[in-house]
Structure 1
Amino acid sequence: MFYHHTLPLPIDNNPFDFGQHPYSIFGRNNFWYYYSRNGIDIKDLFDPSKKPKVYDNPDHVTQPSDDSVPIVVGDNIPKDPTKFDFTCYFKILKTHLLGQNIMMNLELKNDVYLCLQLLSMTQQGLTILADQQQQQTDSTTTINSPDKQFICPLGSLVFSFKLQKVDSDLKHHLQKLLAIAMVDSISTRTAVQSQKVDIKVKFVKGSISQDIYANNQKIGGILTEYSENDDRFDVNLGAGINVHDSTFSLNRITGGSPTNLIVGREDILANFFNNFESMYFTLIHKGLEPFKERLSQISI
């Protein structure tokens, strides 16, 4: 069967081998595209020991012989390879750091959790974006077996990013901040407000993933992962939202259709980062207290 929700899968269901080459998680493309609002060199966003192989033309990409990640940059990047409008997105984005630099792939063969693994190679300030993801639900079957796949629909919003050197007393609050920022980004879209769609999060204590609902219909989820770094923590955060092209997508729930897209992924992602970056600075200085009322309002 097919699962029509863009949801992170639990670690126990993840067949990814941590020694697996990032090349093997690609679907339609065997490389990444890179988009930057501020012109930062993509190599500066990677760990010095894990620099990517950079190409200026997708036709020149070859499978690396080492563990480097192939990335296409420059004038030959398709303007809109996934119908995600980066020009529109960058116009809405108001952050100082988050969301400014994006690695994008049309389709990943694994779930949001694997996007987070790629972040282990990179520095803070890089976002990983995908248009679609697919995941084996049974590691004994092939990825092409139609009844053994996790599939999120085309037009989903699947992204991950990293925060570095987070204090230990703040790291567990970041999942709550992630939830609030995502709910507020979705809830403030005009179509969502006009249809009075109720966006909520179902928190499961101790879980690294939490589900997001629209009018009690599951439309996505969020995911967090922590790794200790010199008494502080690197925190990888991810989310997947069914925005378009699904019976249970946000676009359908708000009255849209495949030919009438009234909710934009660009708006949701840019406003998410606008919300989250501001909230994160508040969390650092004031803790969780300023967010407790809003957290209660969005919780199921």
Structure 2
Amino acid sequence: MPFPVRFSLPVTAAAAAAGAVLAAIALRRYLSSSRQRPSASVTMSAHRSNSAATLVVSGKSPEDQGLLASAASSLSLGEGEGVEKITLALDSDSPVAGKDGGFDAGAYMDALRARRFGRWMLWSPRLASTQDLIAQNFSKLPVGIVCVADMQFKGRGRSKNVWESPPGCLMFSFTSQMQDARKLPLMQYVVCLSMTEAIKELCRSKGLPELDVRIKWPNDLYLKGLKVGGILCSSSYEPKVYNICTGIGLNVDNEKPTTCLNAGIQEINANAPKLKREDIMAFFFNKFETLFETFSNQGFQALEKQYYDSWLHSGQKVVVQDVHEGQSVGSVVTIQGLTPSGYLHAIGHDGQSYELHPDGNRIGEEKDGSISPNRLISPRLPESFAIVGSSQLACRSIMAEDDPVVSAQWLQQHLGLPDVKVLDASWYMPEENRDPWQEYQVSHIPGALFFDIDGIVDRTTDLPHMLPSKEAFAAAVSALGIRNQDKVIIYDGKGFFSAPRVWWMFRVFGHNKVWVLDGGLPQWRGSGFDLGSNINDDSILKSKAANNAVETVYNGGMVDTITFQAEFQPQLFWTLEQVAHNVAARTHQQVDARSKGRFDGIAPEPRKGVRSGHIPGSICVPFPEMFDGAPRLLPADELRKKFEQAGISIDHPIVVSCGSGVTACILALGLHRIGKHDIPVYDGSWTEWEAQPDPNYPKVTATAS
């Protein structure tokens, strides 16, 4: 069941005390009204996987523990065959809690002073990922809950890196909420600062040598030039609030592969007692609650001095690589601090200011984890970096036609130019019960028009959102006021979901001046840029005219004004017959963008009457593998690695498919960044293939395999 009580952060000590009293009353009322109290050990619903995880429930008070046990009884982790079996137990009844080096919940709660964060805790001796657990179950749990594991075997890092933790790490994830999108990118800095300050305070309180843990921008912690920790913040948006999941990994006792906190203490004083994970996490929440309140009420500028005192980069000289007339040119700049949007602010020898972005730049790091302080690697355009002028941001790099995405910063600078057209191509799965047209009217990028994926379609088939004829597409795009010379920027409400489908449609009809907004509307909103609403009559008329134009063409009518000439590119479009031939001939590697559960025939398809499974010979690469948690499209080398790890040869022909031709285009987008510009999409995809009764269209399903 959903967690019944959610509390906002108190802004004063008095309010905090009052909030705690009200929370306790609400908890007691809830417990007294429950027909069944949580048992000491509760086994979760049956799952297919043989793996098992134990979650031990702890609370600052007995009421906290009891209510969390009730709320946690419906938790899940994973998908399809990957779903873990979870056993739930109260801390007081767990035979493993605090034993054999396990996390001691009692010691942690004794050291915890925070009123809002960390008072509810889930602990596991072994768990796939604390970050995944709280992210997948955010609505079921109280805001401020922490999940900690002694060992993670699918830990999460930047760019969706997955790793297994060595013994001795402190690994935990917790939840928070925020309403101001402009502050969202700065959250990771508040977390980093909280941890460095917490470690210092803990050392002082224990009479230990103070460790000089520093922040390596944007989200790593370093001790004596070696990495000891990392921060991962991910967020999702619901009306009026951002749900934030923050994961922290900290080397406490494990010296490998770099170093750890206790090794640093032992170097200073070999007889000093060791830091304990329980104390570190408690001191972190004690400090974070204070800094988060300051950040929420006063902004990050109130914390900047503390932050700069703890980071590595003030006065650091780096080389920024730029491309000028086809040649790589290096410029030495000096880091000054952070820009208001949270990026690095640097100044060159000529006094010019630069803004350096983490998705297109990273401060050099050697394989052993040590810092290489004088290099800034710029692996790709158009987001390598930007120059900050006196009044507005101006990109030094140009829009690259061979890269399929542009940044929110680029679009903000070029918004309103007569040859830049922006389309909102939001679309959602049937079970999500979301109306993209209604959401567009409430909030959209200024000047954007709505592109209806379910309206600009082939009207001769019952298959969902199939590619229209070139005449119908030209008529619809012309009705939207788009010309062949225009640059078209497409985004969607999820970040990376339906926009690549429209990007592919434009390319199928010969228009290569088309890009997807990297990170979509969430990235635009998170960058603090303006949003439009209350669309004018012209926007409504153009969007409706596009759909009407398609209907007119399919009814044999003529459209008055055509400003866009479409030229069909057959190499980018595959039919049912072509895929059937490929099943036998294997000329192309067939790659499926759906989840592993749907691909294997275990998880259900979202459309009624469609069995799950896959086309014989297909390889599964779920579309979320193409982007990071922001979400932004991964760099080319990381994308290449994703495909190669799945057993796909980039040097051989590839065709992509999915459920109905939408998310397959995300794979095509990722492959385009790698340099594969000729990837065909099977338009009908699994929905069409599964519906064929003919044995010439074989299926691999759970019952058939």
Q: Structure 1 length normalisation: TM-score?
A: 0.71
Tell me whether 1:42 sits opposite 2:68 in the alignment.
yes
Per the alignment, residue 72 of structure 1 pairs with 89
Counterpart of 1:201 (choices 215, 220, 229) is 215
Q: How far is 1:253 from its partner?
A: 1.8
Tell me whether 1:102 sits opposite 2:128 in the alignment.
no
Per the alignment, residue 4 of structure 1 pairs with none
**Separation in structure 2 between the aligned mates of residue 42 and residue 126 of structure 1, nearest angstrom:** 9
Q: Structure 2: any 5+ residue segments left out of the alignment?
A: 1-44, 77-82, 157-161, 313-705
Alpha-carbon contact 1:95-1:277 (below 8 Å) kept = yes
Q: How far is 1:151 from its partner?
A: 3.0
Per the alignment, residue 161 of structure 1 pairs with 174
Summarize the alignment of residues 259-274 of structure 1 with structure 2, pairs less than 5 Å apart. 262-274=274-286
Alpha-carbon contact 2:56-2:91 (below 8 Å) kept = no
Rate the CA distance shift 1:275–1:224 in 2: closer, same or farther, 3 A.
same
Rate the CA distance shift 1:68–1:230 in 2: closer, same or farther, 3 A.
farther
Structure whose residues are more often strand by fraction: 1
Encode CA deviations 1:31-87: one digit per residue, 9 max, x unaligned.
2111111222115655xxx8349xxxxxxxxxxxx9995411264213414432222
**Separation in structure 2 between the aligned mates of residue 183 and residue 260 of structure 1, nearest angstrom:** 20
**Separation in structure 1 between the aligned mates of residue 50 and residue 203 of structure 2, nearest angstrom:** 34
Give the aligned CA root-mean-square deviation in angstroms. 3.5
Summarize the alignment of residues 141-290 of structure 1 with structure 2, pairs less than 5 Å apart. 150-190=163-203, 194-204=208-218, 210-247=219-256, 248-255=259-266, 262-290=274-302
Counterpart of 1:83 (choices 102, 115, 136) is 102
**Separation in structure 2 between the aligned mates of residue 151 and residue 261 of structure 1, nearest angstrom:** 27
Rate the CA distance shift 1:157–1:299 in 2: closer, same or farther, 3 A.
same
Per the alignment, residue 117 of structure 1 pairs with 135
* Amino acid in the other structure paired with 2:248: A
Per the alignment, residue 662 of structure 2 pairs with none
Q: Structure 1: any 5+ residue segments left out of the alignment?
A: 1-20, 54-65, 138-148, 205-209
Q: How far is 1:189 from its partner?
A: 3.0
Q: How far is 1:223 from its partner?
A: 0.8
Per the alignment, residue 55 of structure 2 pairs with 32
* Amino acid in the other structure paired with 1:31: T
**Separation in structure 1 between the aligned mates of residue 171 and residue 233 of structure 2, nearest angstrom:** 14
Rate the CA distance shift 1:289–1:179 in 2: closer, same or farther, 3 A.
same
Tell me whether 1:299 sits opposite 2:308 in the alignment.
no
Q: How far is 1:242 from its partner?
A: 0.9
SS state at 1:234 partner: strand
Encode CA deviations 1:147-166: one digit per residue, 9 max, x unaligned.
xx833221211011111353
Rate the CA distance shift 1:95–1:22 in 2: closer, same or farther, 3 A.
farther
Rate the CA distance shift 1:236–1:295 in 2: closer, same or farther, 3 A.
same
Give the fraction of aligned pairs with identical amino acids, expressed as a percent: 20
Rate the CA distance shift 1:106–1:136 in 2: closer, same or farther, 3 A.
closer
Rate the CA distance shift 1:255–1:222 in 2: closer, same or farther, 3 A.
same
Q: Which has the higher contact order (CA 8 A, sep 6+)?
A: 1
Aligned residues: 247
Alpha-carbon contact 2:111-2:283 (below 8 Å) kept = yes
* More moved, 188-197 vs 262-271: 188-197
